[in-house]
Structure 1
Amino acid sequence: MSATKRPTDKKRRSAGRLMMLIVWIGVKVLFVPVLCILALLAGLGIGYAVLGKQEWSDVFDWNTWKHMYDLIFEGSR
């Protein structure tokens, strides 16, 4: 008694399996950029709040980073 072989034709994929493949590829493509953004935010928080001994709430304030930018590039204009 032998087992029946499944067709290896890749054109005959079900819709659910194709959707799962698309989702999996999307997860793989977005995984590294999301990790990079999380690492950037963690680095900003640790550098500003822990090392700089400032308030955590100021880390994500736009005026804080504008002020730092102005301090760094003050004489270049």
Structure 2
Amino acid sequence: MIPIWVRLVFIIAAIIGSLALGAMIGYGIVGEGGNPMDVFNPQTWYHIYDIIFEGTDRQR
């Protein structure tokens, strides 16, 4: 039997991995077709935020 803590660590790692892979596929392949690693760049998320909340003031 595999201990419960090993199963929990595996499940958490699988969730994090699938979120990262999904974001890379969504941004790099389905989206604008840029470098999939750009999804981990904070500037990318600032740009997405600016698109969603266009015209609102935000301090960085």
TM > 0.5 fold call: yes
Give yes or no for the alignment of 1:74 onto 2:54: yes
Q: Deviations over 1:11-60 (max 9, x none)?
A: xxxxxxxxxx8x82211122222111111001000011111211123121
Give yes or no for the alignment of 1:47 onto 2:26: yes
Query: Once the 2 structures are TM-superposed, how far is the Cα of residue 64 of structure 1 from its aligned partner?
Result: 0.3
User: TM-score if structure 1 supplies the norm length?
Assistant: 0.59
Greater RCO, CA 8 A, separation 6+: 2
> Could you tell me how far apart the structure 1 residues matched to 2:55 and 2:15 are?
32
For structure 1, the 5+ residue unaligned runs are: 1-20
What's the Cα RMSD here?
2.2
Identity of aligned residues (%): 39
> Could you tell me how far apart the structure 2 residues matched to 1:36 and 1:71 are?
27
For structure 2, the 5+ residue unaligned runs are: none
The residue matched to 1:59 in structure 2 has which SS?
A: helix
- How many aligned positions are there? 56
> Could you tell me how far apart the structure 2 residues matched to 1:43 and 1:56 are?
10
Equivalent position amino acid for 1:63 in 2 = Q
The residue aligned with 2:45 is 65
> Could you tell me how far apart the structure 1 residues matched to 2:30 and 2:53 are?
22
User: TM-score if structure 2 supplies the norm length?
Assistant: 0.72
Larger Rg: 1
Query: Once the 2 structures are TM-superposed, how far is the Cα of residue 76 of structure 1 from its aligned partner?
Result: 6.0
